[in-house]
Amino acid sequence: MLGLNNLEIGQKAVIKFFKNEGLEARLIEMGCLPGEEVVLSRTAPLGCPYAIQVAGSELSLRREEAASVMVELVA
């Protein structure tokens, strides 16, 4: 289990749980929920924010926000 921010670009993972309750509420509304597959598509030029693909859309998160999303790598 690792934070979403630790993924390599292009790596695929499954969302396990969220460490930040407020952020969890927002992400679930945007289709980003436990069990969903997520891909880190790219980071902004200065290393932050992160762009992820999840549930058919692309979202952008700041580093500390990404770090609060716990994922497990897809083997």
Partner 1 sequence: MSSPLHIKVALIGNPNAGKSTLFNALTGLNQKTGNYTGVTVDRYEGSMSFEANNTLIKCNIIDLPGVYSLFPKSQDEEIACKTLLHPDEAIDVVVIVADSTNLRRNMLLVSQVLDLKMKAVVALSMSDEAAAQKINIDVKGFSESLGVPVVPVDSRHHTGMHALQQAIASATVTKAVFHDLGDANIRQFADYRAFVKAALTKPNAKAENRDKLYRHQVINYVLNKHLQLPAELSRKQITATIDSVTTHRIWGYVVLLAVLFFVFQFIFMVSEAPMNFIESAFLSLGETIQASLPKGPLSELVVNGILPGISGVLMFIPQIAFLFLFIGFLEDSGYMARASFIMDRMLRPFGLNGRSVIPLISGTACAVPSIMATRSISNVRERMITIFILPLISCSARLPVYTLLLSVMYPPQHVFGFFNARGIALFVLYLLGFVVSLATAWVLKKTVKAKENSFFVMELPVYRWPQGRSIGIMVVNKVKVFVKEAGVIILAISIVLWFLSTHGASEKYEALVMQEQTLTAQVAPDSLIQQVVAQQLEHSYIGTLGHVIEPAIRPLGFDWKIGVALLTSFAAREVFVGTMSTIYRSGDTESEEGIRQTIVSEKDEYGRPRYTAAVCWSLLLFYAFALQCMSTVAVVKRETKSWKWVIAQFVFMGALAYFSAFIAFGVLS
In terms of CB distance, is 23 or 70 closer to partner 1?
23
* Amino acid at residue number 46: L
Alpha carbon distance 53, 22 (integer Å)? 20
Query: Minimum distance between the CB of residue 1 and partner 1, rounded to whole angstroms?
Result: 20
Alpha carbon distance 28, 74 (integer Å)? 20
Alpha carbon distance 21, 56 (integer Å)? 23
In terms of CB distance, is 1 or 22 closer to partner 1?
22
Q: Which residues bind partner 1 (CB under 8 A)?
A: 21-31, 33-34, 41-42, 44-49, 51, 55-62, 65
Query: Minimum distance between the CB of residue 60 and partner 1, rounded to whole angstroms?
Result: 5
